Amino acid sequence: MSRQIANGYQQVTLAELEARVRGLETQVAHLTEMLEVLTEERD
């Protein structure tokens, strides 16, 4: 948590923000795939 707070007070470059967004998009895609697999297994 302290890392997140520290990051909030530092200047972030556009490239860093884009990299974070890409990372989050990748995580969401993986979570979506896992959810679909788990949902299919329950049917």
9, 15, 20, 22: CA torsion to nearest 10: 160
* Model pLDDT, residue 11: 85
Query: Any idea what the Cα angle at residue 21 is, between residues 38 and 37, rounded to 5°?
Result: 10
* Model pLDDT, residue 10: 75
* pLDDT tens per residue, range 5-36: 666 677 889 999 999 999 999 999 999 999 99
Residue with tokens 């697999």: 37
* Model pLDDT, residue 38: 93
pTM of this prediction exceeds 0.75: no
